[in-house]
Amino acid sequence: MLEREPDYPVPWTPLPYGLRECMFGLVTYGGLYQRGVEPPFDIEREEKEPTWGDPSYRSIPTGICQDQVGVSHLHLNVQDVTSDINILLPVHRFQELVQQGRMGGLAELAYSFMGYQGFPPDTTAWEKNYGPQVTEKFKSEGVDCVFLTPA
Amino acid sequence: MNVPVLARTLERAGLSTILVTNMPYWAEKVGVPRTLAVEFPFGHTLGQPRDISQQMRVIREALDVLENAQAPGAIVHSGEVWPIPQDKAIQSWQPEKPSPIIEHLAPRFREMLRQRRRPVT
C-alpha cells in the first residue's frame, strides 16, 4: 500500500456491481493497431522529432485475430506481442472469463495508445481530447470497468 | 508519468479502473485509483506469450484488486515471478535499435559520464 501521499487527489468510482455483472473495457499503451484497417502510430514523425510521441489512439475489435495485430512502438521489443496480443491487450483471456461467467461482458472495441508521449512527456492531448473520447465510447457500449495495461 | 493519466481520466468520468504496471512509482507519485504492480519486463505487462495460465493468474490478481480495494490509491504487488534470470530479461525487452530519444540524448549522457569521471583537482 501507499508509503506517501500522491501529488494530486485520486479520483474514485466504486465498483457498481459484482464482477459477474460488470461490462469490461480494455485499454493498452502498447502501440497496437489493426492492420489494414487503421494506420500505425506516427513513428516516422517521432524518428524525425525524437522529443515528440504520437498522442492519438486506435480502436481494436476484441474479436481480433493475431495475424491482424500490428505494433508500432519504438521503445520496446515488439516481437512477443506480435506473436501474442494477450500480453498487452488480453482480449482472448477476457473472452474466456466472460464465457466462464466470471464477468458480465466485454466491450466490442478496445483502445490502444502508444505509451511514449515525448520527452519531457506531454499528456495534454490524452487528458483533454483522447481520454475523454475513449471514455464516451466506452460509456456508449455500457462499460462499467476498464482494465488498463501500460506497456 | 503518463501511466496514471488515462486511469484518472476514466475514473473521474464514472468508470471503475484497474491498472497493471511495472512502473508503480508513477502510480504512487501521481495517484492511480487501483494498481497491481508486476515485476515483468517492458512490453510484457501480463506475462509471457502463449503462457495462458500465467496471463490468467495476473489478470485474476488484478481483478481481485479491482473488487476488493477499499480506498483510492490502492497498490498491490503481484506475487508472480518472471521465470527468466533478470540479466537476460533486461536485454530481451530492448528494441532492436535504440529509440530516437535515446539516440538524441546519448551525447548528453556521454558528456555527463565524462564529467563525472574527471578527477577532482
Residue A121 cell numbers, joined: 512527456
> How many domains does one find in chain B?
1
Contact B100 A74 (CB under 8 A): yes
How many whole angstroms separate alpha carbon A83 and alpha carbon A69?
9
Are the CB atoms for B5 and A123 separated by under 8 Å?
Answer: yes
How many whole angstroms separate alpha carbon B3 and alpha carbon B20?
10
The residue of chain A with its CA nearest to that of B93 is A77
- B71 Cβ under 8 Å from any chain A Cβ: yes
Residue ranges covered by each domain of chain A: 25-149
Write down the pLDDT at residue A117: 96
Q: State the residue range of the domain holding B43.
A: 3-117
Question: What rounded mean pLDDT belongs to chain A?
Answer: 95
The answer, yes or no, to whether the previous bond of A120 is cis (omega within 30 of 0) is yes
Mean pLDDT score, B46-50 = 97
Mean pLDDT score, A82-103 = 97
Are the CB atoms for B9 and A140 separated by under 8 Å?
Answer: no
Contact B43 A151 (CB under 8 A): yes
Question: What rounded mean pLDDT belongs to chain B?
Answer: 93
Mean pLDDT score, B39-45 = 95
Residue whose C-alpha is closest to residue B12's, from A11, A4, A114: A11
In chain B, the percentage of residues whose pLDDT exceeds 70 is 98
Task: Give B120→chain A minimum CA distance, Å.
Answer: 32
Query: Confidence class of residue B1 from pLDDT cuts 50, 70 and 90?
Result: confident
Query: Taking a contact as any Cβ pair under 8 Å apart, which residues of chain B between 77 and 116 contact chain A?
Result: 92-96, 99-101, 103-105
- Which residues in chain A are closer than 8 Å to B94, comparing Cβ atoms? 77
Query: Confidence class of residue B86 from pLDDT cuts 50, 70 and 90?
Result: confident
Give the pLDDT confidence of B67-82 residue by residue, as tens digits: 999 999 999 999 999 9
Give the pLDDT confidence of B12-23 residue by residue, as tens digits: 999 999 999 999
Q: What are residue A82's phi and psi, to 5 degrees?
A: -65, -25
Write down the pLDDT at residue B92: 79
Task: Give A37→chain B minimum CA distance, Å.
Answer: 23
Write down the pLDDT at residue B72: 95
Mean pLDDT score, A97-121 = 97
Q: Give, in degrees to the nearest 5, the angle at Cα A135 between A129 and A141.
A: 140
Query: Confidence class of residue A3 from pLDDT cuts 50, 70 and 90?
Result: low
Write down the pLDDT at residue A5: 77
How many whole angstroms separate alpha carbon B12 and alpha carbon B80?
30
In chain B, the percentage of residues whose pLDDT exceeds 90 is 75
H-run or E-run covering B110: helix B100-117
For A94, counting Cβ atoms within 10 Å of its Cβ (0-12 exposed, 13-18 middle, 19+ buried), the class is buried
Are the CB atoms for B46 and A81 separated by under 8 Å?
Answer: no
Q: What does DSSP assign to residue A86? A: G
Contact B2 A83 (CB under 8 A): no
Lowest-confidence region among A86-95, B43-52, B100-109: B100-109
Give the pLDDT confidence of A54-79 residue by residue, as tens digits: 999 999 999 999 999 999 999 999 99
Query: Confidence class of residue B88 from pLDDT cuts 50, 70 and 90?
Result: confident
